């Protein structure tokens, strides 16, 4: 289990694994952007496909959008298999069931090494909406070998077969589609969570969230860890709008003497996620929770460390979009050495790049600020009402 910070660490590891691939590569991502360093991953996929490696990529229809004709043609000529999860059209706006997105970031090469985290195929110094960034995004992934690799591979194959079945149906190949769906069902039993034991003091799990049998597993993993905490909870999360249970768990932890520290997004990125998070801060600050805002660049981390041994790295934010609608994947690790590495990096980010929120200053924020927060929260609640979800 190796912690990787940012695309500057992840992309070279991905490219090295892909260049060594002999049989197959599976890749899933929310955003695939070939600007800057993202092109290095794209080129590695093309090289692998050209030498006969079965290369399969799934991207989200909203996060990635349409590829440029040049890259689309290069992928096709090389033989890279490309699928889009929930392509964007008018149904996305009209049908709440189409609001579900593929937000997980996974890769498996030759069933030997896997990658899981929150990092898209997107250059750390480039943002599709804001352009060039002065500092890299703050985000993490893990490189994994061992039993979790097979679990990750199965998880990705199940989604691929589902997308293939949908594609076959659209092409009126009903018999082939039914065969694909039946194969997916028979192989997906028990394919939602796996525990892998390494050394005597190490365990790890791939924890998924989907809209079928794994609707709340990531949230429950957080709740169990927070409830068991005795000394310290550190959470870094990009879009932090926890529901009632998560808020109460953090409040109770702080009230029983656990030091709770949150490193959250301090830089405006999206209206709803930025402003809807602020009303939650009051209850947490009142309970003694320390909140730090990160502003040198966009904070996209979805990680946590509890009591110096439990840690999680993945794609899931602690907001209703991730916990109620999106497909997400987190690795949960119980290992002191791994947790210490992540903890040290988070504490350094809080100390050097975080601004601690002052409860008095928060309480005196302007009417305009409060109005924007109320509007964002109202929009989020209306969206939840339309989907029929409770949070």
Residues 6 or more apart in contact with residue 36 via CB below 8 angstroms: 123, 125, 126
Smallest CA-to-CA distance from 168 within 150, 151, 181, 184 is with 181
Contact indicator for 12, 129 with CB cutoff of 8 Å: no
Q: Do residues 262 and 240 touch, judged by C-beta distance below 8 A? A: yes
DSSP 8-state secondary structure symbol assigned to residue 102: B
Sheet of 354-356, strands arranged across: 193-197, 203-209, 328-334, 310-314, 302-306, 232-237, 259-265, 290-294, 354-356
Question: Backbone dihedral region of 308: left (phi > 0), alpha (psi from -120 to 50 degrees) or beta?
Answer: left
- Using H for helix, E for strand and C for coil, what is the string for 162-187? HHHHHHHHHCCCHHHHHHHHHHHHHH
As a 3-state breakdown, the chain gives helix, strand, coil percent values, each rounded to 5, of 45, 25, 30
Annotated catalytic residues are: 103, 105, 110, 300, 302, 307
Burial zone of 58 (CB within 10 Å; 0-12 exposed, 13-18 middle, 19+ buried): buried
Helix (H) or strand (E) holding 85: strand 81-85
């Amino acid at each position: 289990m190796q912690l990787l910070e940012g695309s500057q660490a992840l992309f070279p590891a991905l490219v090295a694994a892909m260049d060594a691939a002999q049989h197959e590569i599976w890749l899933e991502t929310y955003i695939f952007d070939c600007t800057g360093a993202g092109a290095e991953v794209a080129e590695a996929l093309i090289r692998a496909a050209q030498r006969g490696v079965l290369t399969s990529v799934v991207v989200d229809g909203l996060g990635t959008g349409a590829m440029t004709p040049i890259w689309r043609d290069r992928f096709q000529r090389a033989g890279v298999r490309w699928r889009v999860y929930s392509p964007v059209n008018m149904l996305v706006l009209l049908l709440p069931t189409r609001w579900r997105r593929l937000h997980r970031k996974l890769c498996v090469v030759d069933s030997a090494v896997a990658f899981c985290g929150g990092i898209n195929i997107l250059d750390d110094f480039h943002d599709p909406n804001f352009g060039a960034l002065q500092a890299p995004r703050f985000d993490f992934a893990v490189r994994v070998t061992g039993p979790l690799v097979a679990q990750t591979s199965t998880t990705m194959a199940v989604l691929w077969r589902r997308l293939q079945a949908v594609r076959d149906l659209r092409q009126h190949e009903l018999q082939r589609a039914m065969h694909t769906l039946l194969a997916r069902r028979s192989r997906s039993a028990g394919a939602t969570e796996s525990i892998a034991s390494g050394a005597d003091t190490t365990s790890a799990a791939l924890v998924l969230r989907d809209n079928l049998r794994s609707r709340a597993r990531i949230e429950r993993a957080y709740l169990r860890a927070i409830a068991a905490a005795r000394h310290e909870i550190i959470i870094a999360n990009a879009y932090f709008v926890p529901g009632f249970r998560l808020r109460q768990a953090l409040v109770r932890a702080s009230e029983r003497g656990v030091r709770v520290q949150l490193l959250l997004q301090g830089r405006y990125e999206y209206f709803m996620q930025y402003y809807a998070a602020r009303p939650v801060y009051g209850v947490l600050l009142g309970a003694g929770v320390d909140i730090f805002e990160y502003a040198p660049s966009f904070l996209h981390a979805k990680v946590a460390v509890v009591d110096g041994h439990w840690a999680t790295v993945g794609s899931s934010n602690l907001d209703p979009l991730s916990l109620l609608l999106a497909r997400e994947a987190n690795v949960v690790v119980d290992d002191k050495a791994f947790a210490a590495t992540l903890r040290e990096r988070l504490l350094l980010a809080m100390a050097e790049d975080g601004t601690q929120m002052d409860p008095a200053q928060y309480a005196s924020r302007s009417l305009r600020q409060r109005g924007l927060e109320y509007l964002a929260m109202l929009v989020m609640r209306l969206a939840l009402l339309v989907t029929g979800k409770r949070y």
